[in-house]
Structure 1
Amino acid sequence: MAVFVFASTKGGPGKTTTAACIAHHFLREGHTVKAIDSDPNQNLVKRLSKSDVPVEVVEEEGLLAAIKAAQAEAEIVVVDVAGVLTRGMLYAVAAASVVIIPCSPDRNDVIEAVKTQMIIQQAQEIKGRAIPHAALLTKVNRRAQVTAETVDQLTVFKVPMLTVDIPMRTAYQQASYTGVPIADKAVQEDIAALADQIADLMEAGHAAA
């Protein structure tokens, strides 16, 4: 079963919001979904509090066992890790089918995306396999110069990027207060496009294996 890990060594790039939206998307598409929240702040639990997506809080030492158990229960496992560098991040990445690195148009986010990719590279060495991964631009104003600068910097640091992005929308911010799945059509279109690219990334990883 597929394990989608949303990881960044920095808080704030939209990691939890995106993870929650992806979980909702696949549930709406008829898949069985299980979410795992390994962040001590339990933000994913809050984001899914009024949804039908089952979510489990797991401390980092139990993360690998929890992911394995979730794979036996669900077609899609969505894992949100803490926005800091922890062993839990390494464990989650090592078990991932795909790792998505949310990155807002900000120099600090670019630096942390590079650090996150280094963790993925360590996990690849440990597991002896390639782990498909890519940065996802979030909170994007497509007309802003800083967006182009962020793309350029990620390219310089050789961090692969998805071609879709997550633009700034009020609905994403409002969701942080409600825990209700986002019904906004534009958001659902954003996430459907993201889901397609995650699937493509996973398929490419399988083909290269």
Structure 2
Amino acid sequence: MTQLLKQIKYRLDPKKGQPVEVIHQDKVVRLSWCYSDVLYSFLGIYTLGVHCVCHVGKKESSDSQLFATKEENDDYIYYVTNGKRYRQRLYSHNYMLSNFRNYHELNELAEMTRFIDNYESFGNLINVWPGCNAHKGQFNCLDIPEVYFNNKKIKPVSHLFYKEMTDGLDLSFLDEDNKYCSMVMDDFFNMTKEEYIEFLTYINTQIESRTEHYSSI
């Protein structure tokens, strides 16, 4: 296995390494952040890339999730729990760990390598309110902050929470002039390869900007 694939596997496996929040615990304490969360989940952004670049997974019109399918006939892949069959979500550590080696086109993107390098940077952390990190991860938005924090149910809380925290910090995920902040999951699912790379470039730039902002702390 190449070094790049080892890095992808490492970031897809929740049992490996330390969470970004733990890696930067001292800095989180110095900033008086009571709760923190990753800004961009590797699993979420990688899952989106699998769909947009490698054209894997599909959704039903009434659902905001992507489901894995068998390539030969487009039938859903199922897993069984307690005797019941459930459709296999694409947004799954277990599924991705079993299949990530097949996504050569995504794995070889220069911006994916850049994202891997940036992922554990402090700029990929944000201050959040109690319970936000768990709720964000279960919101069927692939953990994408532009979708979560600007959802009509969440927006009043998120904009109030971050109102006094700008201090020159890049909060692009709340910027109403940012095109990604007005997009819903279908818009992300319908991205072309080129649009996904553009989004990944934006993510990397934002993480790098935030890392630089906090470099003196």
Measured against the shorter chain, the TM-score band is: 0.3 to 0.5
| Structure with more strand by fraction | 1
- Output the TM-score relative to the length of structure 1: 0.36
- Output the TM-score relative to the length of structure 2: 0.35
Higher alpha-carbon Rg: 2
